[in-house]
A = this chain, B = another copy of it.
Amino acid sequence: MSHHVAVVGAGLIGRAWAIVFARAGFDVALTDVSADALAKAGETIEASVYDLVTAGLVQNAGFTTQIRYESELGAALAGASYVQECGPEILPAKQALFAELEAASTPDTILASSTSGILASDFAAGLAHPERCLVAHPVNPPYLIPLVELVPAPATDPAVVERARALIEAAGQVPITVHQEITGFVLNRLQGAMLNEAMRLVGGGYVSADDLDNTVKHGLGLRWSFMGPLETIDLNAPGGIADYAARYGPLYAGMAESQAQAPDWSESAIAELEHARRERLPATELAERQAWRDRRLMALAAHKRDMDNTDPEN
């Protein structure tokens, strides 16, 4: 079945969503209030897709013909069963945009926001049909990192969550469902737990910023790139996760007490981190390193695709 979707907002995230949906064979309408942004989007998308072809992640760039560029919101939403909103992260702006999306669509159209921080309860509160609204938060860039967090509001219809989950899966992504609204959703809460402990350990003088990163990229992060933290501990004791928790649960519960201490995000702590990072990588080389990161992500995506094909659980 071919899906018709609209992507509202042609910035970094909107363009990436357009690639994801078109790559999966969907019909995609991309729109933006800025005619200039929309006019430039095609070229940027072609460049990103060229990189994917070069990395062997897609066979050719032909699928970009499935993206049409619409300057009018109404024309973009016509016939779409799913709308991916990628507007500014400002609550009143999002509320106004969702009112426009509601006016331009039928009540059974799913309206999903890419927001990383605003709750559907807040941006959809004033709508006549909030039951078809939810958050579908991607990781940047979604054509390389498949996770999408679906976060319904209490008002969201459970059937809408199921339809959104099926559509995100059909798009080749990996949806998770966050059952109750919570600040940071799940991904950024886990990242926050990690960063907050990193701030305590680096700020407290236990370890350098560089060695902290080494601990993850040459240690912890290896298994986590193909198993989660729970499967990791399930396989780390002879009797599985219950056996592991009986052995090490008290250790982690004890750690939680010292991890309850507020991490230091003060200006001076940040200045020290900035100093450590700039010694490792001058500010002038940030852009080049970001391009390196994207090449590594592409190579890892190709590696994982090949390996996942041999994983009996997939």
**Could you tell me which A residues sit within 8 Å of B by CB distance?**
117, 139-140, 144-147, 149, 174, 176-180, 182-184, 186-198, 201-202, 204-209, 211-231, 233-236, 238-242, 245-246, 249-263, 265, 270-271, 273-274, 277-278, 280-281, 283, 286, 289-290, 292-293, 296-297, 299-301, 303-304, 307, 311-313
Which of A117, A245, A301, A311 has the most chain B CB atoms closer than 10 A to its own CB? A245
A192–B178 alpha-carbon span in the complex (Å): 22
The reply to whether B206 and A190 contact each other, CB–CB distance below 8 Å, is no
Report B-chain residues with C-beta under 8 Å of the C-beta of A235: 286, 289-290, 293
Report B-chain residues with C-beta under 8 Å of the C-beta of A213: 227-231
The reply to whether B234 and A277 contact each other, CB–CB distance below 8 Å, is yes
The reply to whether A229 and B147 contact each other, CB–CB distance below 8 Å, is no
Q: Which residue of B lies closest to A233 (CB)?
A: B195
The reply to whether A207 and B186 contact each other, CB–CB distance below 8 Å, is yes
Q: 16 A-B Cβ contacts within 8 A?
A: A146-B219, A174-B214, A177-B207, A186-B212, A212-B230, A216-B229, A217-B224, A221-B226, A225-B225, A230-B277, A235-B286, A239-B283, A240-B283, A242-B270, A249-B270, A299-B303
A59–B274 alpha-carbon span in the complex (Å): 41
A263–B285 alpha-carbon span in the complex (Å): 40
Report B-chain residues with C-beta under 8 Å of the C-beta of A289: 235
Report B-chain residues with C-beta under 8 Å of the C-beta of A201: 182, 186, 189-190
| 4 nearest A-B residue pairs (beta carbon) | A213-B228, A147-B219, A221-B224, A225-B225
The reply to whether A211 and B186 contact each other, CB–CB distance below 8 Å, is yes
Nearest-Cβ distance from residue A232 to partner chain B, whole angstroms: 8
Report B-chain residues with C-beta under 8 Å of the C-beta of A222: 144-145, 225, 297, 300-301, 304
Report B-chain residues with C-beta under 8 Å of the C-beta of A259: 189, 192-193, 196, 259-260
Q: Which residue of B lies closest to A144 (CB)?
A: B222
Given contact pairs A145-B222, A184-B255, A190-B197, enumerate 13 new A-B contacts (beta carbons under 8 Å): A174-B218, A176-B211, A177-B207, A189-B197, A190-B201, A195-B252, A216-B229, A235-B290, A240-B274, A242-B271, A249-B270, A260-B260, A292-B311
